[in-house]
Copies of this chain bind each other. A is one copy, B any other.
Amino acid sequence: MNYSEMTKEQLLNEKSALEKQYEDYKAMNLKLDMSRGKPSTEQLNISSRILDILTSTSDCSTEKGFDCRNYGLMDGITEIKPIFAQMMQVDPDMIMVGGNSSLNMMFDTISLFMTKSPVEGEKPWLEVKNRKFLCPAPGYDRHFGITEYFGFEMITIPMTSEGPDMDMVEKLVAEDDSIKGIWCVPKYSNPQGITYSDETVKRFANLNPKAKDFRIFWDDAYCVHDVTETPDKLISLMDECKKTGKTDLPIIFCSTSKITFPGSGVAAMAADENNMKVIKEKYKYQTISFDKVNMLRHILFFKDIDGVKAHMDKHKSILKPKFDIVLKHLKESVGPTGVATWFEPNGGYFVAVDVMEGTAKKVVELCKEAGVVLTGAGATYPYGNDPKDSNIRIAPSYPTLDELEKAMEIFCVATKLAAVNKILENM
């Protein structure tokens, strides 16, 4: 029954029933973790073959005969570029292959622009004292962390079911030349799993920022990470930018962290010629080359984009039952009470739940006391501050199915208990 329709007596009964359930869970002394988007051991194991795909006697040469074990090829081996190009929907010659972390490449790019603007004649961002960054939220806490670290004022952009509120984005960037960028996870957004609509992408490709060096940081982290049989489609931002003549706007990132091994995969970025010139000029001084042996392992393991897709199907078969459990519990246990809403994503790594306003912190705390660790409430907002104290990110990948069942039971009880208490307080 919907809590909003309950009498005080009914609510008090519900509260005592929930408290009883909650105490029973607490007594189990569980230790369950739904805090981070970590692949499970089962997922890691499907990539095991990559560990010995090269052997002591392997030829580690590229097609052109370059020994991957030695120095050189600063922007990565040619053979791996078509794969990343297809993942990011750009041309292979727009690709710079990096180390093990796309987050690192994003950090490095912001860091670069702090000391050299991507546009000649413009101030380095460090010298723009009131520098600002747009942060669609709920979003990825590590994105917000980078711009907070570098002293940007972060402006929250509300998310809609089609992506960031583009009216607001368009208005803000047109008015204020101290706004230097926007964080985007365009496919299966972290945490909501929303894929930007065609119209949203087209509007991004047609932005008229007042700052000549405004850039769209397009983190395509989940570009091949479907979890249902009805995957979302994201159109190519770079293709759209070619149509509008604004290919200097986006800088695109992705990695194989959640495809092979987190931390031991390969990351890449893509940008048009002008941006890439500034970016590669920096990399030329930053390193001699990234880990080409690991790039070679990935090429041998996948062969091509179809190999990536076939591999992602294996991840899907492991992840889908986990998303199903999360959604089943939400639907059956929380749904009828009307105290929370959520998206049903077709991919990505998370389910974002909006619990009753003013109770997210309490829900996370209750879960923690019962042995279930969640991402901190507020983490999905700039400065860790969710103004409604409502959004919670659930990361179902790491626990086993049994653990997840238990963790979601507890989450649902905590969500309802916090809500019923809140309603009673305000009565």
Contacts and interface: CB of A to CB of B under 8 A. Distances in A.
B67 A56 contact: no
Contact of A146 (B47, B56, B101, B285): B285
Interface in A238-285: 257, 261-264, 282, 284-285
Contacts of A288: 101, 103, 142, 262-263
A46 B55 CA distance: 13
A399 to B, nearest CB: 14
A289 B142 CA distance: 13
Contacts of A104: 99, 286-287
Contacts of A149: 282, 285
A201 to B, nearest CB: 28
Contacts of A99: 99-100, 104, 290-291
A56 B291 CA distance: 20
A49 interface: yes
Interface of A: 36, 38-39, 41, 44, 47-49, 51-52, 54-58, 60, 67-72, 99-101, 103-104, 107-108, 111, 114-115, 124, 126-127, 142, 145-146, 149-150, 257, 261-264, 282, 284-294
20 contacts: A38-B70, A38-B71, A47-B69, A51-B58, A68-B264, A69-B261, A70-B262, A99-B99, A99-B291, A100-B290, A101-B288, A104-B286, A108-B108, A115-B115, A115-B126, A142-B285, A145-B284, A145-B285, A263-B289, A264-B294
Nearest to A99: B99
Contacts of A56: 48-49, 51-52
A2 to B, nearest CB: 39
A108 B284 CA distance: 13
Enumerate the 6 nearest inter-chain pairs by beta-carbon distance, A residue then B residue, closest first: A264-B293, A48-B56, A107-B286, A71-B262, A52-B55, A69-B261
B70 A263 contact: yes
Given A70-B38, A107-B287, A52 B49 contact: no
Contacts of A261: 69-70, 293
Contact of A285 (B60, B107, B115, B292): B107
Given A56-B49, A67-B44, A71-B38, A263 B292 contact: yes
Given A146-B285, A150-B115, A285-B145, A70 B44 contact: yes
B291 A263 contact: yes
B264 A291 contact: yes
Contacts of A294: 264, 291, 294
A101 to B, nearest CB: 5
A417 B121 CA distance: 48
Given A70-B39, A111-B115, A287 B55 contact: no
Given A51-B56, A99-B100, 9 more contacts: A52-B52, A68-B264, A70-B263, A99-B99, A100-B290, A142-B288, A149-B282, A263-B289, A294-B294
A215 to B, nearest CB: 18
Contacts of A145: 284-285
A127 to B, nearest CB: 8
A49 B69 CA distance: 13
A327 B287 CA distance: 31
Contacts of A290: 99-101, 263
Contacts of A263: 68-72, 288-293
Contacts of A71: 36, 38, 257, 262-263
Nearest to A127: B126
Contacts of A111: 111, 115
Nearest to A398: B70
A131 B149 CA distance: 23
Contacts of A54: 51-52
Contacts of A150: 115
